[in-house]
Structure 1
Amino acid sequence: MQIARIEGNVVRMSEPSDLPYRAVQIREVPGDVVDVLQARAAKAGLSLTTYLRNHLVELARKPSMTELYERSRRRDWGVDRATIVSAVRDLREDDE
């Protein structure tokens, strides 16, 4: 299983043996939430810690909306703004 590591705005995947593990403590989790998570972990045949770690790894693998937005702004889409605006205006005129 690979583990996600965040470097700046980039998520890098590494093998678990490549990374030091660190403990994370989450306080003030409502009891009913813990009960639901424990039940889900048990149903999956996992400890609560393993269940939560797996979900945190998946969460870190997926870019946030801010990260996606920043990537898209830096990306060369192969078309400039003026061309897009012109095409939209042409389409709007065709609809009239």
Structure 2
Amino acid sequence: MRKYHVSQLRFLLAFCMHGPYRPVMSVQITVRNVPNNVRDELAARAARRGQSMQEFLRQQLEVMATRPSTEELLERIRLRKAGANKTLSASDLLAARDADRR
């Protein structure tokens, strides 16, 4: 039986879990000077979910990273409002509806 070095096994495991060309990297983030009341509230929320503080905060960061920033959201709203101010005639509206039905 062939013997593998630990680094080879880690690579193989990462490859099997994530596919080729996607290196698995994680970073550590340290947040200093967190007020006690904030820390206590976060710990309570984690406990209510049956999670460790690390699990809870990592999940919250992942959710936060998937959402658009406030600036991006406002820009989307501006673009949508600019497009909403356009008016269509009844015949244009019916033509668009009928084109969708074909």
TM category, shorter: 0.5 to 0.7
The range that moved more, 23-32 or 61-70, is 61-70
Paired position in structure 2 for 1:50? 55
> What is the 5 A alignment of 1:1-96?
17=18, 18=22, 19-71=24-76, 77=83
Q: How much has 1:38 moved relative to structure 2?
A: 0.9
Compare the two structures and name the one with the higher strand fraction. 1
Number of matched pairs: 66
Q: Which runs of 5+ in 2 are unaligned?
A: 1-16, 88-102
Mapped partners of 1:78, 1:41: distance in 2: 42
Mapped partners of 1:66, 1:48: distance in 2: 29
Mapped partners of 2:51, 2:59: distance in 1: 10
Q: Which runs of 5+ in 1 are unaligned?
A: 1-15, 84-96
TM-score by length of structure 1 reads 0.53
TM-score by length of structure 2 reads 0.51
Which secondary structure does the structure 2 equivalent of 1:77 belong to?
helix
Seq. identity, %: 38
| Divergent runs of 4+, >2 A | 16-19, 68-80
- Larger RCO: 1 or 2 (CA < 8 Å, sep 6+): 1
Q: How much has 1:29 moved relative to structure 2?
A: 0.2
1:15-49 CA deviation, whole Å, 9 max, x = no partner? x9444111111010001111111111111111100
